[in-house]
Structure 1
Amino acid sequence: MKLLKLVPENTNIHFLKWRVPFYIVSVILIAASWALVLTQGLNYGVDFAGGQEIRVAFTQEQEAPVAELREQVGALGYGDPVIQRFGAPNEVSIRTKLPPEAEGNPGMAESISNQIVAALRANHPDVRVDGIDTVSGKVSGEFRNKAVYALLAAMAATALYIWVRFEWQFGVGALFALFHDVSLTLGMFALFQLEFSLQIIAAILAIIGYSLNDTIVVYDRIRENLKKYRRMPIVELLDLSVNETLARTVMTSLTLLIALIPLLFFGPESLFGLTAAIVLGIFVGTYSSIYMAAPILIWLKVSTDSFVPKESDMDRQERLARERGGV
């Protein structure tokens, strides 16, 4: 019985033939992602925005009256609430800002949540409270700063590691690929206004790890082939390296997607953002390893003699002396 092979052994796809169009598309997507982040912003959860989140369900109704809830809660004087469906159509999360005097005052925060719940139950006695989370503005600001530092540190450590293991050109290529992956993930959250919380930071760090692993596999094969095929043109050598690692890349990505896609469609609402980020990260991470990390080596002047040791003047003199002595 023959083993199933998703990628034939003699695969010879000319990936780098389309490197310029794909790079242009990727740069446009990166620019569009950051434009969305800067214009629409991210839909911060309570972790990052601060304030209070109350999750409620209307047990006797098929659908939560979002417009009515927005008017009722807004009339309490705590600013415009952010009300979103959370799980089933009759479940919502209500986020409100806390007044400055509630900073560091748990009693006042609890009083505000009791007022909101009482206002909801006045017109909807069937309301069930599923959870209340409160985060102060100071703590949420610390969370945001630490999250940014974690992402920057992960990307910098990745680039440094690849720089030390390979050459500086490889470090630049890996860093650009990671920047591409993170940018597109942030763009998706800005476009669809999915809740951006600490869970999503964990997902982005997982994406960085996956993309790095995929990139290292490709780079390791490129380095081996640079030493093996000294006279092969660099474009053909990169295509060869990508094709040789393609079976591993496809199997790894497919295995992860088989586990994640059912969770994306049938899992709990609380994990939707986390799962969506990782699923997107698998696609863009695989894409960036092939079309971002590999082609940039051409423009950074990596060639087939990049890993050939340079002959010093002393070594050259010794070699010439040995050659004369042997004549």
Structure 2
Amino acid sequence: MAIDKNNPLEQQNTPDRNGSGGTNSDAANASTRRRKKPRRDGKGSNTQTNNPTTTASSKNKTRRGGKGSEQDSQALATQTRRVTTAIDPDLALGDAADDAAAQAEGGIKAVSNQRIIPFMKIEKPMALLSLFMVIGSIIAIAVNGLNLGLDFTGGVSADVRYEQPVEQVEVVQALADNGFDDAVVQYLGTREELLVRLPPQSDNVDGLSASLTQALALPNNTANISNVNIIGSQVGNEVYLSSVMSLVLALVCMLGYVALRFQFKLSLGAVLSLFHDAIVTIGVFALFGFPFDLTVLAAILALIGYSLNDTIVVYDRIRENFRRVRGITPRQTIDLSLTETLRRTIMTISTVLLVVLAMLFLGGDGLYWFSVALFIGLLAGTYSSTYIASSIPLRMGLSRDDFVVKVKPEFEEEIVTFNDPKMFEQDNIK
């Protein structure tokens, strides 16, 4: 040791921390002594060495083989919060304010600092409301029946052409003044050509054509009838049955599509939500006695397509979150998916409702009931995509295992044994 202290070269080659050489004590040399051995994990920095929180957490992870528990995560979060508070108190106050605001809004701050709206918290009251609406619609259809239009009951249709443009209201009023009530008038491309439909009249086509020509005549505007068709009640019944079969076929095709594309539990929820939308819309028409014709049927079929599209968007996000997010319950996963798709749902329903309201108030009599059916169905479809289509699969036990693909081994090793007859002969000889 004396030789090392008196060696001038050693004193020059070991400068102290302040840049001076050769005259430091043993304590100073010990403080500036570098680590000769590498760290256990081969990594590290001065921040880890000087930060007791990081050091403690790394020791715990090393001791437990890299597998942390929920208690360790909570303890680490508490320590990190304390360190953050000591460094920047304003940041901690901001996090507390965000948490308080999230709780005030009814959401929780769970995944990636994103507020989750607890939609499924009120799924039971919404399920009772849906059941009440479906039962009420079925009772209204059974008791009041549908006010079927001429497409289903039969009647008379005539193609009329005027010399000058006319309004539909004027034509309907002229027919009512001459004894032709409940007439339906639609434009055929231009405002001079119209389609007039009437309830069943007499079978005398010639006399009916003359009566219609006289009834359709307007002041300074002559009407010419080019074609008169009498539709029987049997044809109307066939159209009615074909319409019911088209609705059933559409629901069955939707069931098969969602079952193949996603999962059977989701497909059952989607079909029940579509049935809910259709039956509620038809029930409203039966309850208030609105006319139900082919245009209303077309609106219901369009509604089924729109509602399914909205449901598919929610289902796609549910499947993605079940595969991506771990550590939360299936209920929280569905709430997270509905929260993430809420903005898209609001934007979609807003834009579609603008178009429907424009048709309702500006489209005329030909699009009025079509728009009414779409308006009722859009409200029911948005509600059903949130609660019925999502809550039914949750009640059926939807979980992450339904979306995780189980990888099967390409081959399995088989144990093959060989029985040599000669070996048995040698054993018998011995």
Alignment TM class, shorter chain as reference: 0.7 to 0.9
2:389 alignment partner, SS class: coil
Q: 1:86, 1:129 → 2: CA distance?
A: 14
- Structure 1's unaligned 5+ residue stretches are 1-8, 74-81, 88-92, 103-107, 319-327
Match status 1:160 vs 2:256? yes
**Which of 142, 145, 150 in structure 2 is aligned with 1:38?**
142
Match status 1:96 vs 2:195? no
Distance 1:65 1:11, change over 3 A: farther
Contact 2:265 2:398 in 1 (8 A): yes
Q: 2:235, 2:308 → 1: CA distance?
A: 31
Match status 1:150 vs 2:249? no
Q: 1:224, 1:292 → 2: CA distance?
A: 20
Instruction: State the AA in 2 paired with 1:271.
Output: L
Aligned residue in 2 for 1:83? 182
**Which of 255, 260, 284 in structure 2 is aligned with 1:188?**
284
Distance 1:301 1:96, change over 3 A: same
Aligned residue in 2 for 1:325? none
Match status 1:111 vs 2:171? no
Aligned residue in 2 for 1:322? none
Match status 1:280 vs 2:384? no
Deviating beyond 6 angstroms after TM superposition, the runs of 4 or more aligned structure 1 residues are 53-58, 63-66, 84-87, 124-133, 314-318
Q: 2:222, 2:376 → 1: CA distance?
A: 34
Q: 1:169, 1:58 → 2: CA distance?
A: 50
Q: Which has the higher contact order (CA 8 A, sep 6+)?
A: 1
| 1:86 CA drift (Å) | 7.5
Distance 1:57 1:268, change over 3 A: closer
Q: 2:340, 2:273 → 1: CA distance?
A: 20
Contact 1:57 1:130 in 2 (8 A): no
| 1:12 CA drift (Å) | 2.8
The alignment's TM-score, normalised by the length of structure 2, stands at 0.57
For residues 81-111 of structure 1, the C-alpha deviation after alignment (integer angstroms, 9 at most, x for no partner) is x637989xxxxx9843357xx4xxxxx2453
Instruction: State the AA in 2 paired with 1:259.
Output: V
Identity of aligned residues (%): 33
Structure showing greater radius of gyration is: 2
Match status 1:47 vs 2:146? no
Aligned residue in 1 for 2:339? 243
RMSD: 3.6
The alignment's TM-score, normalised by the length of structure 1, stands at 0.74
2:141 alignment partner, SS class: helix
| 1:199 CA drift (Å) | 1.1
Instruction: State the AA in 1 paired with 2:336.
Output: L
Contact 2:150 2:199 in 1 (8 A): no
2:400 alignment partner, SS class: coil
Q: 1:194, 1:317 → 2: CA distance?
A: 66
Contact 1:46 1:134 in 2 (8 A): no
Instruction: State the AA in 2 paired with 1:175.
Output: V
Q: 2:266, 2:331 → 1: CA distance?
A: 16
Instruction: State the AA in 2 paired with 1:206.
Output: A
| 1:265 CA drift (Å) | 2.0
**Which of 9, 20, 24 in structure 1 is aligned with 2:124?**
20
Distance 1:163 1:180, change over 3 A: same
- Structure 2's unaligned 5+ residue stretches are 1-112, 161-166, 187-195, 414-430
User: Where do 1:243-282 residues align within 5 Å?
Assistant: 243-282=339-378
**Which of 312, 322, 330 in structure 2 is aligned with 1:216?**
312
Contact 2:213 2:224 in 1 (8 A): no
Aligned residue in 1 for 2:301? 205
Contact 1:231 1:304 in 2 (8 A): no
Distance 1:137 1:10, change over 3 A: same
Contact 1:51 1:96 in 2 (8 A): yes
| 1:315 CA drift (Å) | 8.8
